[in-house]
Structure 1
Amino acid sequence: MFNILDAILIAPYRLLPNATAGFYLGTAVLALACLLVGRATYDLVWLFNRNHYAKEEGEMVRMHNLSVAAIEAQNKVAYKAANKEANEAFGKSFFAGAALFSVSIWPLPFLLAWMSIRFTGVDIPLFPGYAVRYNAVLLGLYLVFRLAMWSFWRYLPLFGRVERLRREMAAKRARLRPWTELGNPRDPADPGADRP
């Protein structure tokens, strides 16, 4: 099994006759594949658990807005209770989001492990007189691709459908009321204004 996987992963490195160019091309192909597999996994996990994520985020927003309203009403006891619940809801939502993010990068450690078998001790020229190791090239390319793809996921056929669903759910969620609104009347035209 390892030999088959190794043959598949090393294939992009052999597309160019120049070893350095082949290394960069192969690493770019694998970094992009890693990003796509991670994003597909992220979207699948989000689809299966979207109601849970929506509930956690909704509870966080609701409790935060209640704590803002309590401060506005100058009710210190209600504020403390609502703020405590808001902090707990934020923690749950934050760690659910962190777990979901970790799902998107799961292929990366496996790719780094394979590259360590193949490229440990090899210096890859970056600029004249300056070389880096395989992990710096992979992580650098992966980050560049991840940032570049940030606004393009919605245009890709399958990823775009999930992204649109995510945006629709976010648009329906109550708006998190900022602390800067304290003392300002709520805008009745705001769709989230009447939902604590």
Structure 2
Amino acid sequence: MNELLDAVLIAPFRLPGNAVAGFYLGTFLLALASLLLGRVTYDLVWLFNRRHYAREEAEMARMHNLSVAAIEAGDKAAYKAANKEANEAFGKSFFAGAALFSVSVWPVPFALAWLSGRFEGLDVPFLPGHGLRYNAVFLGCYILLRLAAWPLWQKLPGFGRVERVRRDTAARRAKLRAWTDLAKPAAPRE
């Protein structure tokens, strides 16, 4: 299995006749494959757990809005209780988001480990008189691809559908009241 995977991964590196061009092409394609595999995993995990994420975010918004309402009503004890719960809900939501992000980058360390086994200690020409290591080239390609792909996900088949579901879910999410709303004078009653 390892030999088969190695043969598949090394093939793009051998396509051009030039070793340097092959390294850049192979590394670019490996970064692209890592990005796509990570995004597919991210979307699947999000789809599977979206109700959980929605509940976490709804609870965070509810408790935050209750804390704002308590301050507005001048109830310090209610504010402290609601704010404590809002902070806890924010922490849960934040770390759920962090875990979800980590799902999108899981292929990166595996790609870097494979590159290390193949290209450790080699400098690839970059600018005249300067070379780069495999990890700098891979991470540069990966980051540029990730930034370039950000606006494209919604246009790609399959990914676009998940993006629309994600946007629809976000649109239905309860809105957080801004603390600046407290500084606004109340509208006159007629």
Structure 1 185/39 Cα, relative in aligned 2: closer, same or farther at 3 Å?
farther
1:93 maps to 93
2:103 maps to 103
Deviating beyond 3 angstroms after TM superposition, the runs of 4 or more aligned structure 1 residues are none
1:11 maps to 11
Q: 1:89-143, CA deviations, whole angstroms, 9 ceiling, x for partnerless residues?
A: 0010011111111111111111111110000000011111111110011011100
Cα distance in 2 for partners of 1:80, 1:45 equals: 35
SS of residue matched to 1:182: helix
What is the TM-score normalised by the length of structure 2?
Answer: 0.95
2:126 maps to 126
Consecutive unaligned residues in structure 2, runs of 5 or more? none
Cα distance in 2 for partners of 1:113, 1:94 equals: 29
SS of residue matched to 1:157: coil
Task: After TM superposition, list the pairs within 5 Å mapping 1:31-46 onto structure 2.
Answer: 31-46=31-46
Task: After TM superposition, list the pairs within 5 Å mapping 1:55-74 onto structure 2.
Answer: 55-74=55-74
1:21 maps to 21
How big is the shift at 1:52? 0.2
Consecutive unaligned residues in structure 1, runs of 5 or more? 188-196
Q: 1:13-49, CA deviations, whole angstroms, 9 ceiling, x for partnerless residues?
A: 1111111111111100110110000000000000110
Give the letter for the 2:79 counterpart. Answer: Y
Asked if structure 2 preserves the Cα contact closer than 8 Å seen for 1:72 and 1:183, the reply is: no
Q: 1:140-183, CA deviations, whole angstroms, 9 ceiling, x for partnerless residues?
A: 11000001111110001100000000000000011112211113
Cα distance in 1 for partners of 2:15, 2:178 equals: 53
Give the letter for the 1:147 counterpart. Answer: L
Number of aligned residues: 187
SS of residue matched to 2:141: helix
Cα distance in 1 for partners of 2:184, 2:46 equals: 36
Asked if structure 2 preserves the Cα contact closer than 8 Å seen for 1:41 and 1:104, the reply is: yes
Structure 1 112/87 Cα, relative in aligned 2: closer, same or farther at 3 Å?
same
Greater shift in the superposed pair: 61-70 or 114-123: 61-70
1:170 maps to 170
2:141 maps to 141
Give the letter for the 2:140 counterpart. Answer: G
What is the TM-score normalised by the length of structure 1?
Answer: 0.92
Cα distance in 2 for partners of 1:32, 1:123 equals: 22
Identity %: 71
**Root-mean-square deviation over aligned CA pairs:** 1.3
SS of residue matched to 1:125: strand
Structure 1 186/59 Cα, relative in aligned 2: closer, same or farther at 3 Å?
farther
Structure 1 185/165 Cα, relative in aligned 2: closer, same or farther at 3 Å?
farther
How big is the shift at 1:186? 8.5
